[in-house]
A and B are shown apart, each in its own frame.
Chain A
């Protein structure tokens, strides 16, 4: 069993096969674009964000995390009509943060994953909000109840997504 040692803690590092690395983010972006047509409430979820967090915490490599987050974010940006980079920057930060945190914390338990997702959802929204207003000049409305509800909903879905990712991740 491959084990990495960080700060005296034992944490396992996983990898994903190339097809999984390509298809899972693509599927997440596709579902994010397709499901809201059938289920309008689905727009409160951010499936690509959950995949970014899931990949980052499993790989525990900040470099891989930020590059994965960047790629997924840019792909997501390309489907919107906003300038490319809004989701890209946000998910780059989240990918880097989640993988850095994954090195130090045990994120194998559902409770830890739930909290981690809420925290990184908030980080993602804050970064997106700041860039949208500061750099692009979009009118953004920050509503705490909506953000809180979305965070909890994403965290619940995130636990399920991480369980699915557990099935395809491989030990290094």
Chain B
């Protein structure tokens, strides 16, 4: 008994250490999803995160006051800059959309299935693990918000990580720079695939890229979709340094696009859909369009040869009413023009004094309606402005064979 009393502290120390080592061994050994330490984690997170949420609320409230009342001085200049930026981006968008259309057509031909993010949930970062050896953060959305483990977490700049543990109102997100994380990645131009991992020092490296490949610094790194968590094509970061690594692989260092040390708001990808790529259709195909494509074409006449009183003469890009006596078959049909062609309103416009005087009588049927809602004569003379009154009352009298009713256009009151 005296020995036990003398070494009491040491015995307790050994006992406590042994218990913890045993607990560690159980956790490491267990490979199933059920966590023996779940209760401890729930208690710890439940004790700490309410304080974090409260502090975050105070901080954002104060920040909102600042932004709403004191930070408006630069809004005018910022607005001007943003408008300029929109103009530049609009031009860029035209080019990109053409490329995208082409890509979709090719994907459709190859029966590709593409993944796309169909639903996200915005969340605030409220805390971290507090350890530089465990790179994870806590967000203010949890099980009650529909968050589940292994959901991707992203920002507008790039990917951030994945949901690791979910609690009732908070979730733990494992960042991509943690040494236990792994993301399937692909280099943008060279299309080399690898695995993105964090290092103990907090850097991000792309592994498993063969050393005989040439990877230029500065190349973009995207998600490959191979990990089943991140959809393909999300921005990961940029290659900063390439060196020969151990064995046969390159040591590629990547700088994440998202600033992982200053995360404030993130998006949790709560739903990813998969569908077969389909080219974007300009609109539903109409019988008149298909017919126009199939029928033989009429060579375009010289402008001076087209008389205004020539029945069936058609302005470029427009179609004449089929019910007219014209034999002309239009080659190209613009959607709006076709819809408006042959409408009674257009024929009525022909008798308008303001329209081309040559266009007279329903038999000529020369005036047509442009996509913009203007009437144009067969000779391509400036369109006659028509008011958007309904023409449906006269629709039964039309002789057009177009399957769809024309847009609601009507000629100007006389």
Chain A residues with CB under 8 Å of chain B are 26, 29-30, 32-34, 36-37, 40, 43-44, 62-63, 66-67, 70, 74-76, 78-89, 92-93, 96, 100, 128, 131-132, 135-141, 143
Contact of B129 among A33, A136, A143 (CB under 8 A): A33
User: Is A32's CB under 8 angstroms from B200's CB?
Assistant: no
Q: Evaluate whether A135 and B25 lie within 8 angstroms (CB atoms) in the complex, with A37-B125, A81-B136 already known.
A: yes
Could you name 25 residue pairs across A and B whose Cβ atoms are closer than 8 Å?
A29-B44, A30-B48, A33-B48, A33-B128, A34-B55, A36-B128, A37-B127, A44-B132, A66-B12, A70-B16, A75-B47, A78-B40, A78-B43, A79-B44, A79-B48, A79-B138, A80-B134, A85-B24, A93-B17, A96-B9, A131-B24, A135-B28, A138-B133, A138-B179, A138-B180
Find B131's partner among A40, A80, A131 (CB 8 Å cutoff): A80
A81 to B165 Cα, complex, angstroms: 8
- Do the beta carbons of A81 and B134 come within 8 Å of each other? yes
Determine the chain B residues whose CB is within 8 A of the CB of A26 once the complex forms: 47-48
* CB under 8 Å from chain A, chain B span 10-30: 12-13, 16-17, 20-21, 23-25, 27-28
With a cutoff of 8 Å between Cβ atoms, the chain A residues found around residue B16 in the complex are 66-67, 70, 92
Q: How far is the CA of A85 from the CA of B45 in the complex (A)?
A: 16
Q: Tell me which residues across on chain A come within 8 A of B164, comparing CB atoms.
A: 81
CB distance from A143 to the nearest CB of B (A): 8
CB pair A78 B37 closer than 8 Å: yes
Residue of A whose beta carbon sits closest to that of B174: A81
> In the bound complex, do residue B200 and residue A141 qualify as a contact, i.e. CB atoms below 8 Å apart?
yes
- Contact at B134–A85, with CB atoms within 8 Å? no
A135–B20 alpha-carbon span in the complex (Å) = 11
Chain B interfacial positions (CB closer than 8 Å to A): 8-9, 12-13, 16-17, 20-21, 23-25, 27-28, 37, 40-41, 43-45, 47-48, 51-52, 55, 125-134, 136-138, 164-165, 172, 174, 178-180, 199-201, 261-263
Q: What is the chain B residue whose CB lies nearest that of A87?
A: B131
B20:A85 contact, CB within 8 angstroms? yes
CB neighbours of A40 from chain B (8 A): 261-262
Query: Given the known A-B contacts A78-B43, A141-B201, are A84 and B27 also in contact in the complex, defined by CB atoms under 8 Å?
Result: yes
- Complex: A83 Cα to B131 Cα, angstroms: 13
B24 touches A135 (CB 8 A): yes
> Closest Cβ of chain A: how far from B119's Cβ, in Å?
26
Give the distance to chain A from B91, nearest Cβ to Cβ, in Å: 38
Q: What is the chain B residue whose CB lies nearest that of A27?
A: B51
- If A80-B129, A80-B131, A83-B23 are given as contacts, then 13 extra A-B residue pairs at C-beta distance below 8 Å, sorted by A number, are A29-B44, A30-B51, A37-B128, A62-B9, A66-B9, A79-B44, A79-B129, A79-B130, A80-B130, A81-B178, A81-B180, A89-B21, A138-B180
Q: Which 5 A-B pairs have the closest CB atoms?
A: A78-B44, A80-B134, A32-B130, A83-B27, A85-B24
Cα-based distance from A135 to B261 in the complex (angstroms): 29
Chain B minimum-CB-distance residue to A79: B129
- In the complex, which of the residues A34, A37, A76, A92 contacts B263, with contact meaning CB atoms closer than 8 Å? A37
A131 to chain B: closest residue by CB:
B24
